[in-house]
Amino acid sequence: MESWEPEQVLLWAVERFPSQVAMTCSFAGAGTVLAHMLHRHGADVPILFLDTGFHFAETLQFKREFAGRFGLRVIDIRPALTVAEQERQWGAYLYDRDPDLCCRLRKVEPLSRALVEMGVKAWVTALRRDQSETRRRIQILELHEVAPDHEVVKIHPLANWTRRDVWRYIERHGLPYHPLLDDGYASIGCWPCTERTLPGAGERSGRWPGKNKTECGLHTFSRRLAAAAGGTLDAERCDGDTAGSGSVSTDAG
């Protein structure tokens, strides 16, 4: 699969897991490129959006506009606790005092529950190897355990693409993009943990400024069981039988 184009990888996933594939998307970067590819091929794949309660207003507005324009089936994944409930239980400014715990409560645990609840066997992401050192070794296909007894094939169609490739696609197809990308932000997450990126700095250098942290945990919480750049994995191992709890609601965009 190393020589495949991203659309080939996507179509393989849709054909191999016709009702058990889902994609995560923050609507702040390359995920919109994959969403557009799915739209072009008429693939009705659910797009999971982690609604943390801390998104920029621009992110939520852009998500609604992009999803509406392309008829995407976006599913908002929400934490078990509201922001107010989290503050009562853990205190204010948890994102500053313990960002790892905040990310676990508002991103990692909700996504893990959703993947189990929905019976997802194939999880598509927009990770690229050029984004950061922590992502440099990702393979196009990986087998991950996202919860006890629940394995998924994690798929990175854009692994070989660069930031420039992403922008070329956006320009070629005239796609709208997150407005904050024109305001000095290279990578956009929750507003308390995101700042503008200095010229020449790494793409994700504006995330968790001043903290010894480079990942929210969505792509590090699961246990990687196997990886295969050539596209050969024992996908039958992913049974998706485990049940879970949490909030999963459909957003028509």
For residue 138, the model assigns a pLDDT of 84
User: Which residues are catalytic, by number?
Assistant: 216
- Work out whether strand 150-155 and strand 122-124 pair parallel, antiparallel, or are unpaired: parallel
Give the CATH number for residue 109. Answer: 3.40.50.620
Q: How confident is the model over 187-200, as pLDDT tens digits?
A: 899 999 888 887 77
Which pLDDT value is given to residue 87?
Answer: 97
Task: Kindly state whether residue 185 falls inside one of the protein's structural domains.
Answer: yes
Q: Is 16 domain-assigned? A: yes
Residues 119-140: tens digit of each pLDDT: 999 999 999 998 767 678 888 9
Flag whether 1 is in a domain: no
Task: Establish if 243 belongs to a structural domain.
Answer: no
How many angstroms separate the first and last alpha carbons of the chain?
Answer: 33
How many domains is the chain built from?
A: 1
Distance of alpha carbon 236 from alpha carbon 224, whole angstroms: 16
**What is the reported pTM?**
0.84
Range of the domain at 64: 6-230
C-beta separation of 116 from 5 below 8 A? no
Q: What is the pLDDT of residues 23-78, one digit of tens each?
A: 999 998 899 999 999 999 999 999 999 999 999 999 999 999 999 999 999 999 99
Helices assigned H by DSSP within 118-247: 163-172
